[in-house]
């Protein structure tokens, strides 16, 4: 645990962070900075010495938990050997990591292009799809986030995209495979996957020989933890095969054990043509992302130029951290723990749904769950409007949880539960008890007349 700073030094640090640091996606005057001094496992410690359970793995990236000694050692050792090398030369951690990722990803996903993060991975993924197919268009979905660079934000579906528009041409958005709020008025298990028929209709409206790729998060992350119905991903694979469209899986958030499999696509035995990753690849200790492609795409670039490159792509420190992280996932059985603790988590959340009038739906897979807040369970009216102007009571619930020592991520009416994959049952239950109490705020808001 961290040494607490003196009260005056802590207050100064908070004021400086307000004054000098831009906070992402925020109206700056509303930011109340919490300055974290250190962390360990699933625990964070602020500069006052207060402890918080991390139910967000920060940005759903610190999958191995904070300050894992083996990852830190790997970074230190690599820094002493070779701190940087251009992507035109190579180095063992980069090569070994590419081979390791080819081994743990499904099917013939073979060749890795490294980037510094997820947005760049997605930018490169669509460039690869366009170069390989010779087609211009990309289909993504509204409930999606693919990153904050101009192209990646154009690919994204939620309201963050509006700030970048008109954005990148050639992107078309589809409706989602969101059973709790089905856009096609169908009931789960009784439907004919109208969400897939809609995608096929879209392909025909855009021109089957114009569409290079369909990019999806196999389990939607920041847009509400949406697990597709069982036939959706296999159906999407078949649809892409039918029209020669590249299936691009954005596994930036879902990859590396988050859903209880190494990669979320494996929950449905689907092999995408192109897969992007970042975050969990090295648990966020050093920035890293990448794209892995299937053999035919790799073969194509044997005699075609690949247009793309980044100074920090496949940084040796990041690759060394990734190799250590993947070994930690294996040795400490974190993917299995994600699956097992995920079942406990979903069971506990189901019980919470029964207790709280404001909890309309709980869902998820592995340690990747969401709690959807509603005004009314029958009508499913959202407690805070998705894409609306304020975060409303959703933010108040998270603030209350924070005061009680639980750090959570959420957006509008959805709260996310995605702790590090090393969490144990006691820690999970401690965090859930805090959430349970904080949800009373949402119940009170739901009960208020509109």
Point out which residues bind ligand PLP (CB under 6 A): 59, 117-119, 122, 145-147, 217, 221-222, 250, 252-253, 278, 289
Least separation in angstroms between CB 319 and ligand PLP: 16
Between 149 and 430, whose beta carbon lies closer to ligand PLP? 149
Least separation in angstroms between CB 140 and ligand PLP: 11
Which residue's beta carbon is nearest to the bound ligand PLP?
118
Between 52 and 416, whose beta carbon lies closer to ligand PLP? 416
DSSP string, 207-256: -TTTEEEEEE-SSB-TTT-BPPPTTHHHHHHHHHHHHT-EEEEE-TTTTT
Which pairs with CB-CB distance under 8 Å and at least 24 residues apart come from 424-431? 424/341, 425/341, 425/344, 427/42, 427/53, 428/341, 428/344, 428/345, 428/348, 429/348, 430/53, 431/53, 431/55, 431/406
Between 248 and 359, whose beta carbon lies closer to ligand PLP? 248
Least separation in angstroms between CB 243 and ligand PLP: 24
| CA 248 – CA 135 distance, rounded (Å) | 14
Between 418 and 445, whose beta carbon lies closer to ligand PLP? 418
Q: Give me the count of residues in the chain.
A: 450
Least separation in angstroms between CB 101 and ligand PLP: 16
- Output DSSP code: residue 374: B
DSSP string, 389-437: S--HHHHHHHHHHHHTTEE-EEETTEEEE---TT--HHHHHHHHHHHHH
Least separation in angstroms between CB 279 and ligand PLP: 6
Least separation in angstroms between CB 144 and ligand PLP: 7
Nearest to 37 by CA among 13, 60, 20: 13
59 token code pair: 């940005």
Between 289 and 316, whose beta carbon lies closer to ligand PLP? 289
Between 252 and 345, whose beta carbon lies closer to ligand PLP? 252
Q: Which residue has the tokens 């528009």?
A: 165
Least separation in angstroms between CB 72 and ligand PLP: 21
Between 41 and 284, whose beta carbon lies closer to ligand PLP? 284
Between 250 and 348, whose beta carbon lies closer to ligand PLP? 250
Between 278 and 323, whose beta carbon lies closer to ligand PLP? 278
Crossing angle between the packed helical segments 316-331 and 92-104, to the nearest 10 degrees: 40
Least separation in angstroms between CB 125 and ligand PLP: 10
| CA 119 – CA 156 distance, rounded (Å) | 10
Least separation in angstroms between CB 60 and ligand PLP: 7
Q: Are 338 and 254 in contact (CB under 8 A)?
A: no
Least separation in angstroms between CB 161 and ligand PLP: 13
Between 151 and 360, whose beta carbon lies closer to ligand PLP? 151
Helix, strand or coil for residue 355? helix
Q: Are 10 and 45 in contact (CB under 8 A)?
A: no
How many Å separate Cα 5 from the centre of its chain?
Answer: 33
Q: Are 371 and 359 in contact (CB under 8 A)?
A: yes
Beta-bridged to residue 293, according to DSSP, are: 111, 274
């Amino acid at each position: 645990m961290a040494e607490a700073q003196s009260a005056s030094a802590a207050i100064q640090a908070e004021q400086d962070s307000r004054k000098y640091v831009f906070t992402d996606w925020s109206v700056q005057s509303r930011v109340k900075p919490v300055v974290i001094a250190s962390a360990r496992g699933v625990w964070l410690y602020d500069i006052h010495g207060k402890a918080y359970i991390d139910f967000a793995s920060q940005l759903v990236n610190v999958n191995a938990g904070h300050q894992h000694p083996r990852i830190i050692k790997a970074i230190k050792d690599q820094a002493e050997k070779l701190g940087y090398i251009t992507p035109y030369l190579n180095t063992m951690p980069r090569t070994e990591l590419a081979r390791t990722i080819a081994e743990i990803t499904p099917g013939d996903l073979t060749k890795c292009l490294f980037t510094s993060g997820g947005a760049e991975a997605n930018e490169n993924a669509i460039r690869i799809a366009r170069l390989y197919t010779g087609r211009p268009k990309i289909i993504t979905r509204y409930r999606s986030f693919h990153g904050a660079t101009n192209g990646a934000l154009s690919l994204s579906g939620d309201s963050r995209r509006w700030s970048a528009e008109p954005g990148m041409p050639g992107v078309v958005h589809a409706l989602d495979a969101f059973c709790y709020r089905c856009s096609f008025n169908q009931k789960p298990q009784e439907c004919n996957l109208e969400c897939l028929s809609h995608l096929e209709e879209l392909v025909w409206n855009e021109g089957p020989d114009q569409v290079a790729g369909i990019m999806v998060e196999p389990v939607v992350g920041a847009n509400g933890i949406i697990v597709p119905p069982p036939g959706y991903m296999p159906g999407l694979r078949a649809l892409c095969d039918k029209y020669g469209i590249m299936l691009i899986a954005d596994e930036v958030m879902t990859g590396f054990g988050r859903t209880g499999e190494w990669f979320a696509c494996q929950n449905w035995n689907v092999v995408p043509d192109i897969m992007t990753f970042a975050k969990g690849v090295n648990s966020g200790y050093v920035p890293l992302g990448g794209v892995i492609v299937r053999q035919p795409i790799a073969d194509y670039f044997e005699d075609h130029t690949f247009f793309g490159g980044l100074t920090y792509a496949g940084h040796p420190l990041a690759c060394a951290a990734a190799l250590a992280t993947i070994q930690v996932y294996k040795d400490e059985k974190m993917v299995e723990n994600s699956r097992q603790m995920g079942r406990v988590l979903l069971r506990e959340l189901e019980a919470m749904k029964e207790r709280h009038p404001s909890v309309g739906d709980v869902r998820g897979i592995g340690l990747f769950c969401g709690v959807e807040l509603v005004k009314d369970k029958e009508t499913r009216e959202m407690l805070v409007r998705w894409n609306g102007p304020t975060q409303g009571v959703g933010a108040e619930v998270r603030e209350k949880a924070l005061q009680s020592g639980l750090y959570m991520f959420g957006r509008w009416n959805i709260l996310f539960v995605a702790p590090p994959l090393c969490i144990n049952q006691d820690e999970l239950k401690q965090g859930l008890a805090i959430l349970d109490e904080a949800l009373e705020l949402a119940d009170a808001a739901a009960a208020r007349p509109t």
